[in-house]
A and B are shown apart, each in its own frame.
Chain A
């Protein structure tokens, strides 16, 4: 198996962009990644697109060639991958296989979502489609409500508190303020975060990530050829994908996501590393409780200690395990299908020492965790400096 390197990364800002359609966003991110890698489209042998619900949000289907041909890439394999919020993580995983197998030397992975073109109740309805429509969604579960039920059980079993949840939001906003591409660049206080209007109790507005438009793209290359193109290639040390039951009511214990554990075990094993070796991470904080559960499932803290660790400041940029220095989904924004690749872009930026005011002191090995649905899909990627 050949090692894979990331030689280019590019993102659009995340936010509400009424004048930019889905394709415009994806093409913008793709061009940035090509420019960053200093390669042209002629070198790209395959296009992998992560997108959750483009057809639902915009009416457009068959999205991969819709985008790749707009980039002038005609004739190459061009396919869309869907794994709910882990869509572009899944696309990235497949793209890694394409290089690792020896089939390709260079490919592009992009992720995109255009969400703000629909009113919030319709967005809520589309997002709920990532749950099991025949059971939990039919009963009135929204996406926030699924994670609210996780939070309620986590609080019951481990003593996680309202303030613990809010500490995640406060920290991610503190980081997002320093990210010029973040959607919500605003400091919030713990009091504000704890007392926001309820969305699905116990979760409130500040426990929930944002509704966003945006795209991200990376150029992957065989590691043995990366130096031909890049002075600062980043190596994919390990990558793993796993799956689990769709509905929460099918899982034996909803305070842990076995897909996250499974993906992490595979990624750690491939990298020959463990949780203690990870210096920083971008975790899938679609809701505050998701960041807490993720840090436990990844082995950064003991089970049940995620909320306490967060409230103690353990995940701040100056803490022992900085999490979501980018601002996370909470502050940076969460264009669902773009998020997995956007996390990779954020890790690459840190590893290269190009994160500006957000630059972390220890930045040799970073981990990205991209979660789909309420834990039915997960992709974990470990990246390191060459």
Chain B
């Protein structure tokens, strides 16, 4: 699974209907580890993260990439 560092984040309180049950949820842009790996928009599972936190990918759902704070 991919790993990376938080580039930016937001906590969403007003969501479209299909995500309404998840509110509040955190959306982040992760700078992925690896040369030229680029960045990725993902959800956070578990504890909220801040810019600079290291994260690792965990199992997603509905094709949505999900990351979690590295221990």
Contacts and interface: CB of A to CB of B under 8 A. Distances in A.
B36 interface: no
Interface in B1-28: 7-17, 19-20, 22, 24-25, 27-28
Interface majority SS on B: helix, strand, loop or mixed? strand
A249 B13 contact: no
A355 interface: no
14 contacts: A124-B15, A125-B16, A125-B17, A135-B40, A136-B27, A140-B27, A145-B12, A153-B51, A200-B12, A247-B41, A249-B39, A249-B40, A249-B41, A250-B38
A142 interface: yes
Interface residues of A, number: 33
Interface of A: 120-122, 124-125, 128, 135-136, 138-142, 144-145, 148-150, 152-153, 156, 197-203, 247-250, 254
Interface of B: 7-17, 19-20, 22, 24-25, 27-29, 38-43, 51, 63-65
A140 B14 contact: no
A156 B8 contact: yes
Contact of B16 (A121, A201, A249): A121
B11 A254 contact: no
A140 B23 CA distance: 10
Q: From A125, A128, A152, name the one whose CB has the most chain B CB atoms within 10 angstroms.
A: A152
Contacts of A140: 12, 15, 19, 22, 25, 27, 43, 64
A142 B14 contact: yes
Contacts of B12: 140-142, 144-145, 200
B19 to A, nearest CB: 5
A138 B56 CA distance: 19
Given A121-B20, A142-B15, 17 more contacts: A122-B16, A135-B40, A136-B27, A136-B41, A138-B64, A139-B41, A141-B41, A145-B10, A152-B8, A152-B51, A153-B7, A198-B11, A202-B10, A249-B38, A249-B41, A250-B38, A250-B39
